[in-house]
Amino acid sequence: MSRGLLQIYTGNGKGKTTAATGLILRALGQNWRVLLVRFLKPAEPPSGELTMLRQLPGIDIIDAGLGGVYDASDPVAVAQDVQQTFIRAKAQMAQGYDLVVFDEFNGLFRRNYLALEEALELLDSRPPASELVLTGRHAPAALIERADLVTSMDAVRHPYEQGIGARQGIEF
pLDDT exceeds cutoff 60 at 45: yes
How much is the pTM? 0.94
pLDDT in tens, 89-135: 999 999 999 999 999 999 999 989 999 999 999 999 999 999 999 99
CA 105/CA 131 separation, integer angstroms: 15
The residue length of the chain stands at 172
The share of the chain scoring above pLDDT 90, in percent, equals: 77
Cis peptide before 45 (omega within 30 of 0): yes
Domain boundaries, the chain: 6-153
When pLDDT is cut at 50, 70 and 90, the band that residue 1 belongs to is low
Average pLDDT, the chain: 93
The candidate with the shortest Cα–Cα distance to 84, out of 63, 100, 101, 104, is 63
Residues 6-153, CATH architecture: 3-Layer(aba) Sandwich (3.40)
